[in-house]
């Protein structure tokens, strides 16, 4: 086996074809592929930033919702407490009014009863003689 030295023109031609192939691959394949990859990376980064800002907005909205709900709960508690307090004071006022009315009616009834007692007593005293006579008559009949 003998080693032969290849033809220098042939090697030069192969080298030129190799360089030409590399230049064409660079123009038609590598640059568009790298450009596509850079564009895809930029799009992904933009989408990630958008998602991050959307997540931040969602958290802000959730915080606003929580604030609104806690405010609504506080207001409803205040309204309920005020309504309960108003109802209680109204009830107590009505109760006091009814107690006063009943006390006045009782006082009037007692005064009227006392008057009737006096009238009945006077009538009995006025007719005492008649009752004594009727009683004596009944005793005699027995």
What are the tens digits of pLDDT across the range 41-91? 999 999 998 888 888 899 999 999 999 999 999 999 999 999 999 999 999
Distance CA 72, CA 65 (A): 10
Q: 67 lies in a domain? A: yes
Q: 17 lies in a domain? A: yes
The closest alpha carbon to 116, from 104, 129, 124, 101, belongs to: 124
| Residue 123, token pair as written in the block | 């009538």
- The pLDDT value recorded for residue 130 is 85
Phi, psi of 70 (to 5 degrees): -65, -35
Q: 112 lies in a domain? A: yes
The mean pLDDT value of the chain amounts to: 91
Q: 81 lies in a domain? A: yes
Whether this prediction's pTM lies above 0.75 is answered by no
Degrees, nearest 5: CA angle 119-121-127: 105
- Alpha-helical runs (H) found in the chain: 8-25, 31-126, 128-141
Q: 109 lies in a domain? A: yes
Task: Please count the structural domains in the chain.
Answer: 1
Domain coverage including residue 70: 8-141
Q: 78 lies in a domain? A: yes
Q: 3 lies in a domain? A: no
For residue 41, the number of C-alpha atoms closer than 13 Å in the C-beta half-sphere is: 6
Q: 99 lies in a domain? A: yes
Output the CA torsion 108→113→119→123 (10° steps).
Answer: 160
């Amino acid at each position: 086996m003998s080693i032969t030295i290849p033809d220098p023109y042939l090697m030069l031609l192969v080298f030129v074809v190799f360089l030409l192939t590399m230049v064409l691959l660079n123009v038609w394949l590598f640059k568009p592929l790298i450009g596509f990859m850079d564009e895809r990376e930029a799009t992904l980064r933009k989408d990630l930033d958008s998602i991050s800002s959307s997540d931040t907005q969602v958290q802000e909205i959730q915080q606003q919702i929580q604030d609104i709900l806690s405010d609504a709960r506080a207001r409803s508690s205040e309204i309920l407490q005020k309504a309960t307090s108003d109802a209680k004071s109204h009830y107590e006022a009505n109760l006091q009014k009814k107690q006063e009315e009943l006390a006045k009616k009782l006082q009037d009834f007692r005064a009227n009863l006392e008057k009737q007692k006096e009238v009945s007593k006077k009538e009995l005293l006025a007719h005492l003689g008649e009752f004594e006579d009727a009683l004596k008559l009944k005793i005699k009949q027995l």
